[in-house]
């Protein structure tokens, strides 16, 4: 049985890997030092950059932590739809004196990351947007590494039966939906999804989506999870890499709710509802990572200008319970069960 399966890592709290900057070595190390399981996000980074972050985390803690990797998408995209969306939002880029990016595909350096991780793996390697081949899972297992796969349905849980642990992500979670396909799929509450996955899988489950308090942790443990995953709860911590604009938006009273959108990346993701989301959610194609790369320069320009109405503001449904306090405090509060 893997360490995570028996939960010998300490407190039943996992810090969600948040690609795009929020997850840092400092955050992962702080959570692990506090008794939880910290996570680095390898998404949008090269294998070399990921390795640098692993080494930095090891300098900060001797405790176990994880690294999460994006699986390459196998979805086909409609280039005409992408081109049409580029024409729709090009005015936004001009207003920010930016140029839209090239809507390319790619595997996010997946092969190089996996090869590097196998040479010197962390305690846990997670996969999002799909499940790796059984041979790769076995290769990590032979290195003593626990393999976690994110699932958003019972069908995905069946496909990920070779994993050691499933991260069950409910619709309440902030950021990208970790589904195996970019197509529209039924979104389920975490409680309902845990019940459905439990019916088809005997694997240990960690539960993600709307977790912001010890009561939330108790609730998912009672529903059969071995641990709870929190992401948004850590966004305001000093150790996180959350941008200045994003931090301010999380406590700005003009942002009153979250919703799921494709407007920023082409893949469903939950964030604070702002002007850009409102205007373009109904026009964005299902095309990830193409739309992500298309809008990236626009979003960087918006962040530089402090424009929260044009920036992606990833956040889960519990965003208004996030606090500006050290990650160790958040971890301890979540685990106070």
Mean pLDDT (whole number) for 129-142: 97
**What pLDDT was estimated at residue 2?**
47
Beta bridge partners of 65: 38
Our measurement of the distance from residue 212's CA atom to the centroid of its chain's CA atoms, rounded to an integer in Å, reads: 16
Give the pTM. Answer: 0.95
* Mean predicted confidence (pLDDT) in 244-271: 98
What are the Cα distances from residue 112, in Å, to 44, 143, 218, 335? 13, 17, 39, 36
Q: Using alpha carbons only, give the angle 244, 190, 145 rounded to the nearest 5 degrees.
A: 75
pLDDT in tens, 271-327: 999 999 999 999 999 999 999 999 999 999 999 999 999 999 999 999 999 999 999
Is residue 35 classed exposed, middle or buried when 0-12, 13-18 and 19+ CB atoms within 10 A define those classes? middle
What pLDDT score was predicted for residue 312?
98
pLDDT at 132: 97
d(CA 234, CA 280) in angstroms, rounded, equals 28
CA pair distance 209, 231, nearest whole angstrom: 8
User: Can you give the pLDDT at residue 1?
Assistant: 39
Per-residue pLDDT band at 184 (split at 50, 70, 90): confident
DSSP assignment letter at 71: P
Percentage with pLDDT > 70 across the chain: 97
């Amino acid at each position: 049985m893997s360490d995570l399966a028996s939960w010998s890592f300490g407190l039943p709290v996992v810090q969600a890997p948040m690609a795009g900057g929020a997850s840092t070595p400092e955050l992962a190390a702080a959570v692990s030092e506090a008794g939880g399981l910290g996570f680095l996000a390898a998404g949008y980074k090269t294998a070399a950059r990921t390795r640098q972050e692993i080494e930095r985390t090891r300098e900060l803690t001797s405790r176990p932590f994880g690294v999460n990797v994006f699986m390459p998408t196998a979805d086909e995209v409609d280039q005409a739809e992408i081109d049409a969306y580029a024409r729709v939002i090009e005015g936004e880029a001009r207003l920010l004196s930016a140029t839209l990016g090239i809507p390319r595909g790619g595997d996010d350096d997946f092969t190089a990351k996996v090869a590097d991780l196998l040479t010197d793996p962390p305690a846990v390697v997670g996969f999002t947007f799909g499940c790796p081949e059984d041979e790769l899972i076995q290769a990590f297992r032979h290195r003593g590494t626990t393999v976690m796969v994110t699932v958003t349905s019972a069908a995905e849980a069946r496909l990920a039966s070779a994993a050691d642990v499933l991260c069950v992500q409910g619709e309440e979670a902030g950021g990208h939906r970790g589904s195996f396909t970019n197509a529209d799929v039924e979104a389920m509450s975490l409680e309902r999804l845990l019940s459905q996955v439990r019916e088809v899988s005997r694997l240990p489950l960690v539960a993600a989506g709307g977790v912001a308090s010890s009561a939330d942790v108790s609730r998912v443990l009672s529903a059969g999870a071995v641990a709870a995953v929190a992401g948004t709860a850590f966004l305001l911590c000093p150790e996180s890499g959350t941008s200045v604009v994003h931090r301010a938006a999380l406590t700005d009273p003009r942002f009153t709710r979250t919703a799921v959108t494709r407007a920023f990346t082409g893949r469903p993701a939950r964030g604070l509802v702002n002007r850009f989301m409102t205007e373009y959610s109904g026009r964005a194609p299902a095309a990830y990572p193409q739309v992500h790369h298309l809008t990236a320069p626009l979003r960087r320009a918006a962040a530089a200008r402090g424009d929260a109405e044009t920036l992606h503001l990833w956040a889960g449904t519990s965003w208004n319970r996030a606090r500006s306090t050290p990650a160790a405090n958040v971890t301890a509060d979540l685990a106070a069960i």
